[in-house]
A and B are shown apart, each in its own frame.
Chain A
Amino acid sequence: MRLALQLNHDPIDTELGNRAWQCAQTALTEGHELVRIFFYHHAVSYAFSHDPNHTAFRPNWSELARAHDLDLVVCVSAALRRGWLNEAQLSPAHLLPGFRVAGLGLWAEAVVLADRVKVF
């Protein structure tokens, strides 16, 4: 089965973050395909480096992407609105490995391609 995940929550919501992480890991373990993981709304901040004191309990999406060749997409417009990006630099140094910056079209494409869609 092909799954598309969208993360919307603020990373301070560790319960939702863990549920999304567990969903992704379980899907991969059971042989399902993750078409794309799209980071939208407040969840765009997962894609950028933070104060190391606040990252200890965050799911390591970069590592999961590296291990399973996942497509992690952070929404450009949501990241711009929240000041994580500026229009002069859409791939900044603080973008974490494995993430790419793109538009909502990639989320729409994932919804079209996926058999199931899950939002956290």
Chain B
Amino acid sequence: MTKTVLYQISHDGILAEEALDSAMTLAAFGLEVAILLQDQGARLLTEPVNGRLKALPLYDIDTVWIEASTLTALGLKKAALPAFVQVIDTARLASLAAHHDVLLH
């Protein structure tokens, strides 16, 4: 059975870029990877690296979550998010984590 990974990205800059590198590599090795953007990690949606986020489906990473409180804190609008990004309430994070075999950050 394919192992599922939830990759939490909560920093921006080089740490976020490296997290994307890692997530893409895990996916290339056949793991089923979803990404959760929190705090400063959500800046990936606003920076030039956003182009790399758009490439995630090429790696079969089709699920990108953003925490609702992060969306509010960064002043991002749900309607402006790429179609593959879904908003998740903080109260549902534990349930989301429980549905994955491996949690990385």
Contact = CB atoms under 8 A, between A and B. Distances in A.
Interface of A: 6, 8, 40-41, 77-78, 81, 103-105, 107-109, 111-112, 117, 119
Contacts of B105: 8, 119
B25 A107 contact: yes
Interface string B22-58: 1001101111000000000000000000000000000
A112 B104 contact: no
Nearest to B24: A104
A111 B31 contact: yes
Given A112-B3, A112-B31, A6 B14 contact: no
Contacts, number: 43
Contacts of B29: 105, 108-109, 111-112
B14 A104 contact: no
Instruction: Classify chain B's interface size.
Output: 10 to 19
The A contact surface, by secondary structure, is helix
Contact of A41 (B18, B25, B26, B31): B18
Contact of A108 (B15, B18, B25, B103): B25
A40 B25 contact: no
Contacts of A119: 103-105
Contacts of A77: 18, 21
B66 interface: no
Contacts of A6: 104
Nearest to A8: B105
Contacts of B64: none
B102 interface: yes
A41 B14 CA distance: 9
B5 interface: yes
Contact of A107 (B3, B22, B103): B22
Contacts of A109: 29
